[in-house]
Amino acid sequence: MTSSDPHPHDGDSSQDPGTPVLEAQALRKYFPVRGGRGAVVHAVEDVDLRLHRGEVLALVGESGSGKSTIARLLAQLMPATEGRLLLHGSDATVRGRRAFRRYVRRVQMIFQDPFASLNPVHTVRYTLSRSLRIHRGRLRGPALEQALTELLDRVQLRPPERYVDAFPHELSGGQRQRVAIARALAAEPEVLLADEPISMLDVSIRLGILNLLQDLRTRLDIGILYITHDIASARYFADRTMVMYAGRVVETGDSEAVTQDPKHPYTQLLVRSAPDPDGMEDRALGARGEAPSLVTPPSGCRFHPRCPFAVDLCRTEVPPLLEVGAARTAACWGYAERADRPSLGSILETYGGHRAAAATSTPAGATAAGKDQR
C-alpha cells in the first residue's frame, strides 16, 4: 500500500488539517425531466465539500435529498451541471478514459447493494485479480496470490483460502460487501465513496462493516465519504456530518455536535424523529408535511413550507451556510444578523405538545406543497 503509516486520528476540525484530498466547490446537478419541456430536477445545488485523508465525513439526508447524486458526481460517473472538483487542490475534472482511470485509482466507490455490484458468474479471485490488474499492472504467480491474500485479510475474510474461490451466491450479504470493499482497496485509493454501504445488510452485521471501514481509514489513512439516511450511524462512525435537505446542504459540523445539538430546524426534526429508546421524552410529534418537489423547489429556504419558524425572508431568499459555532454552519436565516430574520424556537416545544396538533387532523395535502407536480 502506498501509505500505511498509522495516522493518529483526531476529529478536531479547528486545527488546520491541510489541503483536502478531495474537494468539491459549488457543485450543481440538474437532471432533465423526461417529456418535461425543459423542466429539470434540481437534484443538487451549491454543494461545497472537503474530505481529508484519514477522515470520515457523513452525508445524511432522506431519500431523494441528493446524496447518491453527489457520490456519483464525486466519482465522476456523470458530469456536473456546474462546479469544480479538486484532488489535492488541483482541478480533477477528467476528460477521456485514461484520465478517468487515473482518477478512479484514487477515488473508489462502494455501492449499496452487494448483490448487484458483484458479477454472479465470477469468483472472488477473478473479481479481485481483475481489479488488481487494472490498478496495479500485471501481477502474477506468487505476487498475485500474495496480493489476494492481503486483500482478503484486510477485509477480514479469514482464512483467505476459504473465500478466494467462492462465487458471490456462496457468500452472505456482509461477506459480499467485504469483497466489494476489497475490490475497491485493490486500487490503493485515497478516497472511498461509500453510498449507503450497510443499509441492505442484516441488522446484526452492519456494525461489522462500519468497524471494518473504521479500521481501514485508520490503518490506510483513507478519506471516507459515508452516505447514510441513518443519523445515529453517522454519529457512530463519522468525524464530521453534513445534513442535506432537498438537494442543499443545510448543516455541517462535528458529528457529535450536529447530533447532540442540532441547529437547523430540519436537522432538529430529523434528530427528534429518529428512533431513540433513551430519548423518548424528546420527541418531535405532530410534525406534518414532506419533502418538496425538486422540479419546482420552494423559493428561498427549501424547508420553509414545513418550517414552523418561517417568515417572509425565508420564502424569498436562499439562506447561505452561516457560522453557528466552532467549525459549524447552518443554512437558516434564524442565525443571520438581520432585523427581518425569523426567531427560532425549539422544535420540541413547537411539536412537543403534539396531542392537540395531532387531533386536528391536518390535511396532509395542504402541507405537501408541490408534491403532486412530480
Ligand X SMILES: Nc1ncnc2c1ncn2[C@@H]1O[C@H](COP(=O)(O)OP(=O)(O)O)[C@@H](O)[C@H]1O
Within 262-301, which residues bind ligand SF4 (CB under 6 A)?
265, 301
- The whole-angstrom separation of Cα 48 and Cα 24 is 5
Q: Which does 31 bind (CB under 5 to 8 A by kind): another protein, ligand X, Mg ion, none?
A: ligand X
Within 276-335, which residues bind ligand X (CB under 6 A)?
294
Q: What is the DSSP string of 228-258?
A: ES-HHHHHHH-SEEEEEETTEEEEEEEHHHH
Of these, 21, 64, 65, 68, which contacts Mg ion (CB under 5 A)?
68
Of these, 20, 64, 253, 334, which contacts ligand X (CB under 6 A)?
64
Piece in contact with ligand X (CB under 6 A), picked from 67-75, 148-156, 232-240, 276-284? 67-75
Does residue number 222 form part of the binding site for ligand SF4 (CB under 6 A)?
no
Go through 243-280 and write b for each residue having 16 or more CB atoms within 10 A of its CB, e for each that does not: bbbbbbbbbbbbbebbbeebbbbbbbbbbbeeeeeeee
- The whole-angstrom separation of Cα 121 and Cα 56 is 33
**Residue 125's closest CA among 101, 157, 172?**
157
Q: What is the DSSP string of 52-110?
A: -TT-EEEEE--TTSSHHHHHHHHTTSS--SEEEEEETTEE----SHHHHHHHHHHEEEE
Of these, 43, 74, 132, 222, which contacts ligand X (CB under 6 A)?
43
Does residue number 170 form part of the binding site for another protein (CB under 8 A)?
no
Q: Which does 68 bind (CB under 5 to 8 A by kind): ligand SF4, another protein, Mg ion, none?
A: Mg ion
Does residue number 35 form part of the binding site for another protein (CB under 8 A)?
no
Three-state DSSP state, 225: strand
Estimate the crossing angle of helix 173-185 against helix 124-136, to 10 degrees.
20
Does residue number 310 form part of the binding site for ligand SF4 (CB under 6 A)?
yes
Q: Are 155 and 184 in contact (CB under 8 A)?
A: no
Does residue number 31 form part of the binding site for ligand X (CB under 6 A)?
yes
Of these, 109, 194, 284, 307, which contacts ligand SF4 (CB under 6 A)?
307
Residues that bind another protein (CB under 8 A): 62-63, 172-175, 202-208, 211, 229, 231-233, 235-237, 256, 259-260, 269-271, 273-281, 283-288, 290-291, 352, 354-355, 358-359, 361-366, 368, 371-372, 374
Residues that bind ligand SF4 (CB under 6 A): 265, 301, 303-304, 307, 309-310, 314, 319, 332-334, 342
